[in-house]
Structure 1
Amino acid sequence: MGNDDSGHMKTIDRWLSGEVVNNAVGIKVVGGPFDGRTKIVFVGEDGTPPAVIGTSGGPAGPTRHAYKTVRSTVVRAGWIYAYTGPEPATKS
């Protein structure tokens, strides 16, 4: 699929390092079954990532898991996604 020096791979590396490129950035996931992973998301016009994301799968199976954005001075992107626990199966 091409070599590691391709422009595509360089863009992904920049996202993963926490740099905003083409209005997208990699945000570290903290806690829950996806702890330690990075989620690449688009930032809004104000430069902030989506306030809440949902993931499914992982070691817990098909359960949906919710994460919210939290400001962080430890990571370059300035944000992390913190685990908030499973989302409800249905919304009322």
Structure 2
Amino acid sequence: MSTDNSEHMRTIDRWLAGEVVNNTIGIKVVGGPFDGRTKIVLLGEDGRPPAVIRASGGPAGPSRHAYEAVRSTDVRAGWIYTYTGPEPATES
């Protein structure tokens, strides 16, 4: 494995551990079809993650799902994303 690739993997491991690296962090997803996964996000200027993230697909199919950032003292990152439910279907 090249040095660049090894450094990249070390950075990803740090994000997944809840450490802020280059203003980016991994935040655990709780509930819904993406429960247990980690979303890697860029923090805003205020040091907070995006208030809402959306995910589509997964075990529940192609529908879109919303998650909200919530403070948590139980995780190193200090934040989790909690499931707020499926987004309403929109017609194209």
TM-score of the pair, normalised by structure 2: 0.92
- Identical columns (%): 78
Paired position in structure 2 for 1:45: 45
TM-score of the pair, normalised by structure 1: 0.92
RMSD: 1.7
Deviations 1:27-74 (A, max 9, x none): 000000000000000000110000000000011100000000000000
**For structure 2, which runs of at least 5 residues remain unmatched after alignment?**
none
Higher helix share: 2
Paired position in structure 1 for 2:20: 20
Q: Distance in 2 between the 1:27 and 1:3 partners?
A: 28
**For structure 1, which runs of at least 5 residues remain unmatched after alignment?**
none
User: How many Å apart are 1:3 and its aligned residue?
Assistant: 6.0
Q: Distance in 2 between the 1:89 and 1:67 partners?
A: 16
Q: Distance in 2 between the 1:53 and 1:25 partners?
A: 14
